[in-house]
Amino acid sequence: MFQKLTDYIEKLDLESIPVNRKEVLNPFIEYLKEKINSGASISLNFICTHNSRRSHLSQISQALAEHFQFHQVTCYSGGTAATAVYPMVLKVLEEAGFETVQLSNEDNPVFAVKYKADSHPIIAFSKTYDHAFNPSIGFAALMTCSDADENCPFIPGTEKRIALNYEDPKAFDDSPLQKSKYEERSRQIATELFYVFSKIKKS
């Protein structure tokens, strides 16, 4: 894994997670424990309304699965509508230590997000949760925003649905606080998902 990213991960402060958030994360931990201890492959689809911010910041937990050597975990993202990956998301990921490469030039461009020189990159572009790029059966749906959670009462093919619900940094777009709020949300998501993987022991 890139050294800058490793340094970022090692500085995540698990003590910053409030007790009530740990309770929210417990169903996710239990789901992963059961799947990993059974030896099953694991598909995680992080879902938010526009698949432009929080769901992409969460999909990057693929790097955390690699950090903990859970190679059977594959992370995806989707929305209830397709828009585009918001540029500030890519900026804060790059500052954390990821390398990003734009692969296409349309209104909804495709990006390769690398966390390790010799691993396949995470492919990031905005899409609906049921897009052909995403798994259609046997996956967990992780709802990263309340709007998507409320507006998607049923997601076909999912074997587990878990609400994580993060506040949207979009509220600070075009303000002096924009970058710091995106960094704050990115770090919160990384810290909580690091905590999730850290609570799992291989059988």
Write out pLDDT tens, residues 91-149: 999 999 999 999 999 999 999 999 999 889 999 999 999 999 999 999 999 999 988 77
19 falls within a domain: yes
> What's 180's domain CATH number?
3.40.50.2300
Give the confidence band of 203 by pLDDT, cuts at 50, 70, 90: very low
**The model's pTM:** 0.95
Residue 31 belongs to what domain range? 3-128+135-146+153-165+174-198
- Give the Cβ contact number of residue 150 at 10 Å: 11
47 falls within a domain: yes
174 φ/ψ sector (left φ>0, alpha ψ -120 to 50, else beta) = left
203 falls within a domain: no
pLDDT for 2 beyond 50: yes
140 falls within a domain: yes
Write out pLDDT tens, residues 134-170: 999 999 999 999 887 777 778 999 999 999 999 999 9
| Number of domains within the chain | 1
Taking CA atoms, 202 is separated from 32, 62, 162, in Å, by 10, 18, 22
Interatomic CA distance for residues 199 and 30, integer angstroms: 9
Helix (H) or strand (E) segment spanning residue 161: strand 158-163
What's the mean pLDDT in 70-94? 97
9 falls within a domain: yes
